[in-house]
Amino acid sequence: MKFGMFLPTVGPYASGPDALHTQRTLAQQAETLGFDSIWVPDHVVFPKTINSTYPYNDTGRIRTAPILDPLVALSFLAGVTTSIKLGTFVLVLPHRNPIVTAKMWASLDVLSGGRTIFGAGIGWLEEEITLLGAPFRRRGALSDEYLRAMKTLWTQPDPEFEGEFVSFSDIECEPKPLQQPPPIWIGGHSARAMRRVVEFGDGWLAVPKSVAAFHESLGALRVAAEQAGRAMSDIPIMISPMYVDSVDAYIEEFKRYSGMGYDSFFAALPFWARGLDGIQQAMDDFARKMNM
């Protein structure tokens, strides 16, 4: 079994004088306990008025909070760990110029020793995406093109690309990432997201609201894979039942999913406890009960 852990780079531990100590402590403890990966989320700003519907809970609302930039946070975490994998859950593709993103990610992959996982999605917060200059209604097409462009920059010695949203030629983009290319894991739950997993992804980051919702998206993934001629066994899935709020509740859901044959999971442990000591105790409890 592989277990990833969400780091609290959003919320009360993402700002103030204690943020550095908290992030370093939890990342190093995750590595010591045997977690396979640590993950950080992405928002640039939170508009004060949000009419968009958050898709990963039953309320449709999100609680805003301070949030560290994911690329900066992962660069720091790379420097205080040695072996644990480092991922974004997920980097919102429309937020950033793809050439700049490709450059930053390649630099991160080099300086982490090739430990990165490029978790990517198209985003849901219309007010934020629009503010940052991307066309919200076309963010899917834009994101697909950005992924193609970044793969080109990561893998080609003389990268050239001609698209609707980004074009380049006669350039050098160095260094290349150590991983050729870094693994790309796609987040989302819609039928279009499942087609994106099949076309671009090395895996699917699943954040279901329920087991039934997971099966609905899984069905769409099977259809997309069949249409593209890609075997489902070639698409690993990491599951994060974000609807739980304790270690014991997570274990019950873990049993249901692992009973279906899945072996890669993600836990939002920092949200289940109060204070640094409480989070550390929850991590120890999780590792012990999962026989990590």
Task: Tell me which residue of 78, 101, 195 sits closest to 152, measured CA to CA.
Answer: 101
164 burial type by CB count under 10 A (0-12 exposed, 13-18 middle, 19+ buried): exposed
**Are the C-beta atoms of 4 and 84 separated by less than 8 Å?**
no
pLDDT band at residue 239 under the 50/70/90 scheme: very high
Architecture of the domain whose range is 2-242:
Alpha-Beta Barrel (3.20)
Tokens, residue 188: 């989302």
Euclidean distance between CA atoms 291 and 286, whole angstroms: 8
pTM, full prediction: 0.97
**Are the C-beta atoms of 77 and 38 separated by less than 8 Å?**
yes
pLDDT band at residue 57 under the 50/70/90 scheme: confident
Mean pLDDT of the chain: 97
* Digit-coded pLDDT (tens) for 63-87: 999 999 999 999 999 999 999 999 9
* Digit-coded pLDDT (tens) for 137-171: 999 999 999 999 999 999 999 999 999 999 999 99
On the question of pLDDT at 58 being above 90, the answer is no
Q: What is the DSSP letter of 57?
A: S
Neighbouring CB atoms inside 10 A of 32's CB total 12
Sequence-distant contacts of 161-165: CB under 8 A, at least 24 apart: 165/141
Euclidean distance between CA atoms 287 and 26, whole angstroms: 13
